[in-house]
């Protein structure tokens, strides 16, 4: 016979008047009259310890819902776990039998058994053969009765973090957008709807058929030898880069490449030149590496070297083929002058060639790295803009004396990129799919650029000024002097248009402007979004 035992009666049975059992938090407790042994009262950590043979918690505080995304088993597991951790289920209490819980909770026995088995395996419950399942006594200081109650996250003391973590806590690698959905005119976005996914899948299937066992195992930290050989051929022919396969390191995109450079070549306090305005990801990587930044302005020929010469650099970051976000192409005389600075100061030049494939006037210009045999130029590239962003494959072409140290740095950082993605990219290039896609996108993007500029002239003349655009995936529109580009950008965002302000990319005061991407959006989308821009600006 089993009868209900109230919290007051429970205190009497235990012999304690110090603290009765809390039936409201434990659930109803039952006293088993069949038990012939009653334990002596015990006061441990300020609570009454119960004889496992005496007390049974009914778990009537557990609530399961079939309308949640989480399975019933997961819900039951999490709720019992929380009750154990919070000590609402006191150590030593026996859980009801699975048969009773089936009736009480209205779920299958397998659901209950699987949840309890997981809790037993993780140490929250103890299972005793022939006796039942009991709440474990967690010997963790933070869970002891009488300990300081848990504080909310907002009241916790600041964690002790490294100086590097302190430097990066406020950095961003892209402007802050209202949503993750790509809307017109977000910059640097490829036309994903036109990506040849069938050819990509064909390349993947072919790669797997050739090297299945190798691709399922661990890869080389420096990257697939096949991809590096393929890239070296492509870069020599298409970009004029001086390199061998051994000089190439495959990275998880340009951002990792920049972080590897900063962590390998910079010491805290080293001076780094950076374009202003410029790429936020480069700024973040260099600052994370401890660099002191010199913001070097951009003129019609590119990086204004004379502006930075009072502060000799350890490292120089630049985008000579097409400066981001202004779109300037660095002149030959300026490139040669930059190489002279690197030689005289023993500085490293990072050439970020992020979207050089998309040039709409004449052929793509050769790389800065290929101009001379200068041992101080590090060439960085990526597939993210040309193919699709989630691929997360980039590369570095290193001077020969840096190869080994970067191989080791890459190995320590993440041991290598996806072998299957690397093999797929190699076949994609070798079979001609890559060059065909680039040619097609160059034509599509040129047509979209023409639509964008025509619509801008039609709807925003007098408000926005656009210069000549010869290459790239975005264009800068200049506002009237004195305009607040951040306020204009925010108002456009409220209207559903993403055009980040030029000031977001600048370390110093700059002329006001907005950065417009056009490559990811159809002519219809471009026309509609430009009308929205015109309506928003004219109502300011």
Q: Which pLDDT score is estimated for 144?
A: 45
Residue 176 covered by a domain = no
pLDDT at 486 over 70: yes
Residue 184 covered by a domain = no
Residues 206 and 324 in one domain: yes
Q: What is the band of 417 on the pLDDT scale with cuts at 50, 70, 90?
A: very high
Residues 424 and 456 in one domain: no
CATH code of the domain in which 526 resides: 3.90.1150.10
Q: Which pLDDT score is estimated for 11?
A: 40
Of 114, 143, 172, which residue sits at a domain end? 143
Can you tell me whether residue 460 is helix, strand or coil? helix
Residues 376 and 522 in one domain: no
Residue 525 covered by a domain = yes
Residue 165 covered by a domain = no
CATH code of the domain in which 83 resides: 1.10.10.10
Residues 397 and 313 in one domain: yes
Residues 356 and 492 in one domain: no
Residues 242 and 341 in one domain: yes
* pTM of the shown model: 0.75
Residues 397 and 449 in one domain: no
The Cα 488–Cα 481 span in angstroms is 13
Q: What is the band of 379 on the pLDDT scale with cuts at 50, 70, 90?
A: very high
Q: How far is CA 269 from CA 266, 275, 289, 345, 428, in A?
A: 8, 18, 9, 16, 43
Contact present, 329 and 321 (Cβ < 8 Å): yes
Of 435, 459, 493, which residue sits at a domain end? 435
Residue 174 covered by a domain = no
Residues 65 and 210 in one domain: no
Count the neighbouring beta carbons within 10 Å of the beta carbon of residue 539. Answer: 8
Mean per-residue pLDDT over the chain, rounded = 86
Q: Which two tokens stand for residue 192?
A: 């994903």
Outline where 17-157 has alpha helix (H). 23-26, 72-85, 98-105, 109-121
Q: Which two tokens stand for residue 523?
A: 């002519």
Q: How far is CA 12 from CA 5, 8, 18, 92, 208, in A?
A: 10, 7, 10, 18, 72
Q: What is the mean pLDDT of residues 464-469?
A: 92
Residues 333 and 246 in one domain: yes
**CA proximity to 274, closest of 168, 371, 349:** 349
Residue 523 belongs to what domain range? 444-538
Residue with tokens 């920049």: 258
- Percent of the chain scoring above 90 in pLDDT: 66
Q: What is the band of 27 on the pLDDT scale with cuts at 50, 70, 90?
A: very low
Residue 179 covered by a domain = no
Residues 485 and 359 in one domain: no
Q: What is the mean pLDDT of residues 324-337?
A: 94
Residues 211 and 114 in one domain: no
Domain count, the chain: 3
Residue 127 covered by a domain = yes
Is 140 exposed, middle or buried (CB count within 10 Å of its CB: 0-12, 13-18, 19+)?
exposed
pLDDT at 139 over 80: no
Residue 520 covered by a domain = yes
pLDDT at 140 over 80: no
The Cα 109–Cα 133 span in angstroms is 15
Q: What is the band of 425 on the pLDDT scale with cuts at 50, 70, 90?
A: very high
CATH code of the domain in which 211 resides: 3.40.640.10
Of 109, 143, 177, which residue sits at a domain end? 143
Q: Which pLDDT score is estimated for 170?
A: 82
Q: What is the band of 423 on the pLDDT scale with cuts at 50, 70, 90?
A: very high
Residues 527 and 463 in one domain: yes
pLDDT at 40 over 50: no
């Amino acid at each position: 016979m089993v009868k209900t035992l109230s919290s007051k009666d429970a205190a009497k049975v235990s012999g304690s008047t110090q603290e009765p059992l809390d039936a409201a938090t434990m659930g109803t407790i039952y006293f088993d009259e069949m038990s012939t042994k009653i334990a002596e009262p015990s006061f441990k950590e300020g609570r009454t310890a119960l004889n496992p043979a005496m007390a049974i918690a009914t778990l009537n505080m557990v609530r399961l819902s079939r309308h949640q995304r989480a399975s019933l088993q997961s819900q039951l597991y999490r709720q019992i776990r929380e009750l154990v951790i919070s000590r609402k289920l006191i150590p030593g209490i026996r859980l009801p039998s699975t048969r009773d819980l089936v009736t009480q909770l209205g779920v299958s026995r397998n659901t209950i058994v699987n949840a309890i088995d997981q809790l037993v395996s993780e140490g929250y419950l103890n299972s005793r053969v022939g006796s039942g399942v009991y709440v474990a006594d967690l010997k963790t200081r933070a869970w002891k009765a009488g300990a300081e109650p848990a504080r909310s996250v907002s009241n916790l003391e600041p964690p002790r973090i490294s100086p590097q973590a302190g430097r990066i806590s406020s950095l961003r690698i892209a402007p802050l957008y209202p949503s993750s959905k790509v809307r017109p005119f977000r910059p640097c976005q490829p036309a994903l709807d036109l990506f040849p996914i069938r050819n990509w899948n064909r390349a993947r299937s072919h790669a797997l058929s050739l090297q299945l066992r190798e691709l399922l195992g661990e890869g080389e930290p420096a990257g697939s030898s096949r991809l590096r050989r393929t890239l070296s051929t492509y870069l020599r022919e298409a970009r004029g880069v001086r390199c061998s396969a051994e000089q190439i390191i495959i990275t998880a995109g340009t951002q990792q490449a920049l972080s590897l450079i900063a962590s390998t070549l910079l010491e805290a306090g080293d001076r780094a030149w950076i374009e202003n305005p410029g790429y936020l990801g480069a700024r973040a990587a260099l600052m994370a590496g401890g660099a002191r930044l010199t913001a070097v302005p951009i003129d019609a020929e590119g990086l204004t070297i004379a502006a930075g010469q009072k502060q000799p650099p350890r490292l120089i970051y630049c985008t000579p083929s097409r400066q981001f976000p202004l779109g300037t192409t660095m002149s030959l005389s300026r490139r040669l002058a930059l190489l002279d600075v690197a030689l005289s100061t023993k500085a490293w030049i990072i050439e970020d060639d992020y979207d050089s494939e998309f040039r709409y006037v004449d052929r793509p210009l050769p790389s800065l790295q290929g101009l001379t045999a200068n041992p101080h130029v590090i060439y960085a590239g990526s597939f993210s803009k040309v193919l699709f962003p989630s691929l997360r494959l980039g590369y570095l072409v290193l001077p020969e004396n840096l190869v080994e140290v970067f191989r080791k740095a890459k190995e320590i950082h993440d041991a290598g990129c996806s072998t299957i993605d690397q093999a797929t990219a190699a076949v994609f290039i070798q079979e001609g799919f890559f060059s065909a896609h680039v040619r097609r996108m160059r034509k599509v993007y040129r047509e979209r650029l023409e639509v964008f500029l025509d619509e801008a002239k039609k709807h925003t003349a007098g408000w926005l000024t656009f210069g000549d655009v010869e290459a790239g995936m975005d264009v800068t529109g200049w506002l009237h002097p004195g305009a607040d580009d951040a306020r204009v950008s925010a108002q456009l965002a409220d209207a559903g248009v993403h055009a980040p302000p030029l000031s977001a990319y600048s370390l110093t005061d700059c002329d006001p402007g907005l950065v417009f991407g056009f490559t990811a959006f159809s002519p219809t989308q471009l026309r509609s979004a430009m009308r929205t821009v015109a309506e928003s600006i004219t109502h300011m």
